[in-house]
Structure 1
């Protein structure tokens, strides 16, 4: 068990905007440089030329992760500035839409459009992915099966996409709904074993839904190329503190749930329909209302749900010296709200989506 959760890392996706108008701005030169690996090992292209991705190195502590996130964001911001653009750290741009995007001319992205057509061409969203080290696929699947009921609470804490295509969607994470149009997003039923996982992957490949396991877009998936379990459900966190909090909770969950699997504790029963309902409710209301518990089948105050999650993980967090930091970050999050709530407050105050975009850029530069 000592290897489980010993390491973690994060990938973050950013929109590229004009530094003066904050309009979504293609940067083919910048993305081309990323395709040619000219921006270093930690800055990568994404599916469109209005996006850029960063990846931390392998970290062992939350302090290391924070430092890596700061460094990779700074590296990407510098590269963007040299190309005449800047980063907008939110999952959706407040006013722009997919029609203003151009697909990145790399083989992987061209193949994505060939396979998924309009779904790939309309991929105008960004996310945050956290990798947690696991020793083998059996452990990854055991945690995957047990983590499903916890995902709505994690999602509710990260919303940064209240606007889409110039409209207030009424959601904190509209990205979740937009992403949900794909045939292989959300979460699968409990899988059981590594062999059964491979059978599912093989079936999806045969169906033509995916080319290989690297194209599984579940909220949580075993990485196809790293010894990790990858959590893909979160919106991109505008404030770096929220990203650190998300990563801390995710890693602790992996450690706790892996230990339960080792003790042969049963997988919590949860209907797929109720899990989808809980995911929808979290995407809509974030931490500003009540969340749906898909196991108990009841609505729970969001603060109570988050505090319950932290309490469940408290012993694990305390054993590793992370509990105080996590509780501080939770208090901060509830004190100022999610990025989505802060964006909507700017919109309600100004009625100007350009001001919303400017506020996102400023916050990301100050707290990222």
Structure 2
């Protein structure tokens, strides 16, 4: 990331590789990445844990319009590469019916070491996420921003939830990917840190006890990036459409900026117990936008649309500063009306009774607005 910039945006997306005849996942990442790298830089398109996954990472973006352009270009290139290989690309947090036992691990030392350490848990972890980096180079301030931003992670999760199925079953969760991910050590919400020294001490203790080898294996939903001068948000499922992904990036940047302003203005922070945050997170993964969500500040439940609109109001000054208010607020209202990815997947299944039709729908939505 460009260290001279603040509040820049970078987005990573993890895609499913789909056999268009069967609708199943297929392990063709090496071939598809080879094709995609004819148009995308090596750093932009990468392998992931399994051969049925491909990851992209945008360049550093200054605006949401640039994020949109970069994500559209990346999706277009990967979709065309998959097409050359006789396959397709889908953006959802889990595959509706493919068996994790049939997915082959990518032959890289990092992934082999993870499998050796985490065994069955990592073998079952065939999931697909969306990571958003926001540039903020002062780590001490960034950590205080994280203390504040974590209060709102459940709303981001509810809006992005896009993984209702697992092994050919409706799980009852809007984001079953979140349930799968939560089994990893050092996943979920980070604790509250009084200062950066407390954070670095914890990292040192985790390394000295053998819990981790380095900070990159801390998988919190929001964390300081070790590679870039950014805050990294890892809480959301991959979004089905580019428009939804851009909206999430806009909300996240506005959240970072809003919390940053509170930190530098020394505004008071309401303490929220980790049990309340965990409950709010679970409710967002379970229900998405279809039921009540937890207002962690007031310790009450609210209709999902009410809490989402409260979140938008909180972010409005920051969204207006970046010129994103109209675009982001309209997109969020559209999601509230049409449903998040999980709701739309469930609607297709209810209409057709076919998981293959659900996959076809996800594939079509993944290329919406970028492939004619």
For the aligned pair, the TM-score class normalised by the smaller chain equals: over 0.9
Aligned equivalents of 2:114, 2:162: Cα separation in 1: 25
The answer as to 2:67 corresponding to 1:65 is yes
TM-score (norm 1): 0.95
Give the one of 215, 220, 223 matched to 1:221: 223
Would you say the 8 A contact 1:152–1:282 is kept in 2?
yes
Q: Secondary structure of the equivalent of 1:12?
A: strand
Q: Secondary structure of the equivalent of 1:242?
A: helix
2:117 aligned partner? 115
1:319 aligned partner? 321
**C-alpha displacement of 1:215:** 1.5
Cα deviation code 1:200-259 (max 9, x no counterpart): 222222333322111211000111110100000000000111111111111011011011
State the Cα RMSD in Å.
Answer: 2.0
Aligned equivalents of 1:32, 1:206: Cα separation in 2: 37
Aligned equivalents of 2:335, 2:231: Cα separation in 1: 25
Would you say the 8 A contact 2:32–2:81 is kept in 1?
no
Matches within 5 A, 1:207-246: 207-246=209-248
**C-alpha displacement of 1:144:** 0.9
**C-alpha displacement of 1:5:** 4.5
2:290 aligned partner? 288
Aligned equivalents of 2:122, 2:207: Cα separation in 1: 18
TM-score (norm 2): 0.94
1:201 aligned partner? 203
Going from structure 1 to structure 2, the CA distance change for 1:32 and 1:54 (only over 3 Å counts) comes to closer
Going from structure 1 to structure 2, the CA distance change for 1:148 and 1:67 (only over 3 Å counts) comes to same
2:189 aligned partner? 187
Going from structure 1 to structure 2, the CA distance change for 1:115 and 1:31 (only over 3 Å counts) comes to farther
Structure 2 residue runs without a partner (length 5+): none
2:108 aligned partner? 106
Cα deviation code 1:57-114 (max 9, x no counterpart): 0000000000000011111112222222211110100011311211000121112112
Matches within 5 A, 1:151-166: 151-166=153-168
Would you say the 8 A contact 1:5–1:255 is kept in 2?
no
Going from structure 1 to structure 2, the CA distance change for 1:33 and 1:111 (only over 3 Å counts) comes to farther
Structure 1 residue runs without a partner (length 5+): none
Q: Secondary structure of the equivalent of 2:199?
A: helix
Deviates more, 1:163-172 or 1:262-271: 262-271
Cα deviation code 1:315-354 (max 9, x no counterpart): 1211221111111111211121111100000111111111
Aligned equivalents of 2:251, 2:67: Cα separation in 1: 13
2:306 aligned partner? 304
Aligned equivalents of 2:40, 2:101: Cα separation in 1: 27
Aligned length: 367
Aligned equivalents of 1:304, 1:4: Cα separation in 2: 34
Would you say the 8 A contact 1:90–1:161 is kept in 2?
yes
Aligned equivalents of 2:140, 2:32: Cα separation in 1: 37
2:31 aligned partner? 30
Deviates more, 1:190-199 or 1:171-180: 190-199
Would you say the 8 A contact 1:5–1:254 is kept in 2?
no
Aligned equivalents of 2:39, 2:30: Cα separation in 1: 11
Deviates more, 1:72-81 or 1:29-38: 29-38
Deviates more, 1:273-282 or 1:199-208: 199-208
Aligned equivalents of 2:4, 2:273: Cα separation in 1: 31
Going from structure 1 to structure 2, the CA distance change for 1:91 and 1:352 (only over 3 Å counts) comes to same
1:173 aligned partner? 175
